[in-house]
Structure 1
Amino acid sequence: MRALIHVQHLLGTGHAVRAVAIGRALAARGVAVTLATGNRLPPTLATHGLDIAPLPLARAADATFKVILDESGKPIDEAWKASRRDALLAVAAAVRPDILITETFPFGRRPFAFELRPLIEMARTDRCRLVAASIRDILVRKDDLAKERWMADTALALHDLVLVHADPAFVRLEDSFPFAEAIAPLVRYTGFVHAPSAVAPPPGDGIDEVIVSCGGGPVGTRLLEAALGAKTLSARAGDAIWRVLVGREHGEAALAALAERAPPGLIVEAARPDFPALLGRARLSISQAGYNTVLDVIAAGCPAVFVPFAEGSETEQAQRAALIAARGRCTIVEEQTVDAASLAAACDDALERPRPTPVAVATDGAERSAEILIEEAHRRSIR
């Protein structure tokens, strides 16, 4: 059996992390998996067992996602779209998938409908048994209800399944999508997709430290800047080593500039694959509230301060952080107002509370997704 996964991350890297985890779970069950990706994968991401098919690169110009740039930094045009569509269709023609997975689309990535509709149509006319959409726990709300209606209508027209990577006992699709009932026949909850790295940190790293992170995209600058000054202002965390992890997309110059300004006892370094294990040793985590980071924090069981990404019209991280806060598991600082003083105060608040109790959620979403996809593809082959 063959599977083709299409993933296009534009700012953060969570979409790619989930897609790779599901791909590896499929591969572990004997499925030949090709991952067609339109952006560079994080260097910390293990992709063994997958055939990576790179497409012409695209990224968002900013957090509004209104302008998509090509590898040279120019807005994409019709010629670029045609070239990219042809490249994707060539991958599909070579793979001839039994299972096709569109990560996010049609619940996002609408600007890429120019290649995804032809991809799905091509799969339907070939041997493909199953077309599935793969979405995270919380969708970003749109300011126009018609756009959300389009998502539902498109899923009903083009897809056989919608895999929702969440535990419905914790959060449900209808909490962030007003047309969840309309697509209910397609929806299958998988549990959260959590695939922490098995890399162990060197002895000593992370022990009783404050770990500051900002995800894999080029965002979180306000958080990083605030962290430089918060260490000396915190009554409960000022004596700890602070380890600030900077994502690749910020660039080497930004990392060097932060490191040059770091106070004593604060380490600035590039994001590392042993991040989940560092959290397991930490006194406190300070981070944004992206899907993968929140799961790593929950798994580690460490106190947490979340500074949810909220640029543009983003609502997803704020909603996720609020769900954690309602269970007494974190302190929240708004991104628009975060500074050294507010971050230090949040650290002290988080550390004054009793150590968080475990949050019981299903985190085997990659494995469950693979099982659902394979079972459904087999069922459709014998109709």
Structure 2
Amino acid sequence: MKRLMFYCQHILGMGHLVRSMEIVRGLTKDFQICFINGGEIIKEFEFPAGIEVINLPAIKTDTEFEELQVVDDIFSLTEAKEIRKNQLLKIFDQFQPDILMIELFPFGRRRFSFELIPLLERAKSNASSTKVVSSLRDIVVTKQQKQVKHEEKVCNLINQYFDLLLVHGDPKFVPLEETFSRVSDLKCAVHYTGYVVQEPPMSPVLNDEEKELINSDKPLILVSVGGGRFGHELLDCVVKTAPWLGKKLPHNIQVFTGPFMPEDKFNELQAMAKNSKNIRIGRYTPYLLSYMKKAELSISMSGYNTTMNVLTTGVRAIILPFTGNQDREQTIRAEKLSNLGIVRLLNPNDLQPDYLAFKIINYLEEQPNQINLDFAGVEKTAALLKTLAVKQKVA
């Protein structure tokens, strides 16, 4: 089997890890995989059987994206960077991958150049025949005033180190040119794979409370905010709205705060909800898709993976885009879907319990529009990487 080394660094949420793992899940039949996780470990997160997972000393960012931080204070940031860089080079030399796949870089994660540039130099050295691939979601974070300089750096890095760019989206919905103007200046092959979507688990291992909720005759409203480092104002509003909804609707409300929500905030939400019998608050489930298939309504942010779950299940969705760090990625996605009548859009001014209750009750009486996109991202990624591995062998 061909060997594939996959590098993924999540720094605030968990969307990059979730999408990367779905891609990996589709590659296990054809590749021996070494998966490098540079972000905080999520204890309940399920990796596919048969892959090697190596956790680097974890690095995250503050909520304003201003500085990198170590997750475990055993090391200083400077020490962690040096350890990670050397560990990556050692893994590469031992594993000798036929393909090195790096998620998001160089369109993002350039603050990790301290370890990625040495790794790329090693991969492109004369002693290595490794092909290098960039794995990119549909929408690139724009740098606004610095956009011209940013795109110049991206082009230089892609053209120097990468053999293939895989865009995990559908150009009919969001062409890459919409958020990156210099696609024509990229010298490597560029392929759209379609959207990477999660497959429902064959036999989810649910506890009694989860079984009761999913199998209940009562309809369900599902509320989630990804990793949980942001979106707190949405959860606050939902918890305050629950008593209003309890008088009007028969629905259960299941909230997932995300594994990274601070403990004090999680406890605060539970205390706020203790007198509402129609709402349950949990941290994390690897079976969010099972809940979404059951739900009458999803209330969430508009990250890549949650949005794909909304589109593939056809559930009604009310969406509040993340706008921190002047990031328009989620806003672009949410506005496009709202304009097509597929989701309902929230903005921060809408986060009033009476208004949200009114919006929920009215929306539950409507049917959302559906959209026909390319959702074969996992399968097409696998096919393109298999082709690349054959070319690598011939070369």
Is TM more than 0.5 here?
yes
- Secondary structure in 2 matching 1:312: helix
Structure 1 partner of 2:130: 129
For 1:239, the equivalent position in structure 2 comes to 250
Question: In structure 1, what is the equivalent of residue 184 of structure 2?
Answer: 181
SS in 1 for 2:6: strand
Q: Which moved more, 1:40-49 or 1:224-233?
A: 40-49
1:70-219 matches, within 5 Å, as 70-72=70-72, 77-125=77-125, 126-143=127-144, 144-145=146-147, 146-183=149-186, 185-198=188-201, 199-200=203-204, 202-205=211-214, 207-219=218-230
Is the Cα–Cα contact under 8 Å of residues 8 and 103 in structure 2 kept in the other structure?
Answer: yes
Deviation at 1:252, TM superposition (A): 4.1
Q: Distance in 2 between matches of 1:333 and 1:360?
A: 23
Are the structure 2 counterparts of residues 286 and 376 from structure 1 closer, same or farther at C-alpha, using a change threshold of 3 Å? same
Judging changes above 3 Å, is the alpha-carbon distance between structure 1 residues 178 and 4 closer, same or farther for their aligned structure 2 residues?
same
Q: Which residue of 2 aligns with 1:334?
A: 347
Alignment check: 8 A CA contact 1:303 1:330 kept: yes
In the aligned structure 1, how far is the partner of 2:343 from the partner of 2:247? Answer: 15
SS at match of 2:124: helix
Residue 149 of structure 1 deviates from its aligned partner by 2.1
Superposition pairs of residues 230-379 of structure 1, within 5 angstroms = 230-234=241-245, 238-262=249-273, 263-335=276-348, 338-353=351-366, 355-379=367-391
Distance 1:335 1:127 in 2: 51
3-state SS of 1:250 partner: coil
User: CA 1:342–1:147 in 2, change beyond 3 Å: closer, same or farther?
Assistant: farther
- Structure 1 partner of 2:40: 40
The answer on whether the counterparts of 2:98 and 2:392 sit within 8 Å (CA) in structure 1 is no
Alignment check: 8 A CA contact 1:309 1:335 kept: no
Q: TM-score, normalised by structure 2?
A: 0.90
2:269 counterpart letter in structure 1: L
Question: 1:135 aligns to what SS in structure 2?
Answer: strand
What's the CA shift string for 1:319-359, capped at 9, x where partnerless? Answer: 11112112201111124653323432432343243x22432
1:336/1:44 CA distance change after superposition, 3 Å: farther
Q: What is the alpha-carbon root mean square deviation over aligned residues? A: 2.2
Q: CA deviation at 1:6?
A: 0.7
8 Å contact kept, 1:333–1:342: no
Question: Displacement, 1:203?
Answer: 4.8
Amino acid at match of 2:35: L
Q: Which moved further from structure 2: 337-346 or 7-16?
A: 337-346
SS in 2 for 1:65: coil
Match of 2:67 in 1: 67
Q: Which residue of 1 aligns with 2:207?
A: none
Cα 1:41–1:368 change in 2 (3 A) is farther
CA distance in 2 between counterparts of 1:346 and 1:138 reads: 28
What 5-or-longer segments of structure 2 have no aligned partner?
A: 205-209
Name the counterpart of 1:18: 19
Q: How many residues align?
A: 380
The 1:120–1:185 alpha-carbon spacing in structure 2 relative to 1, beyond 3 Å, is: closer
Note closer, same or farther for the CA distance 1:8–1:336 as it changes in structure 2 (3 Å cut).
farther
8 A Cα contact 1:285 1:297, kept in partner: yes
Give 1:77 shift. Answer: 4.4
The offset of 1:44, in angstroms, is 3.3
**5-14 vs 248-257, which moves further:** 248-257
Change (3 A) 1:327 1:45: farther
C-alpha displacement at 1:185, in angstroms? Answer: 4.9
CA, structure 1 residues 368+221, in 2 after alignment: closer, same or farther (shift >3 Å)?
A: same
- CA pair 118-109 structure 1, distance change in 2 beyond 3 A: same
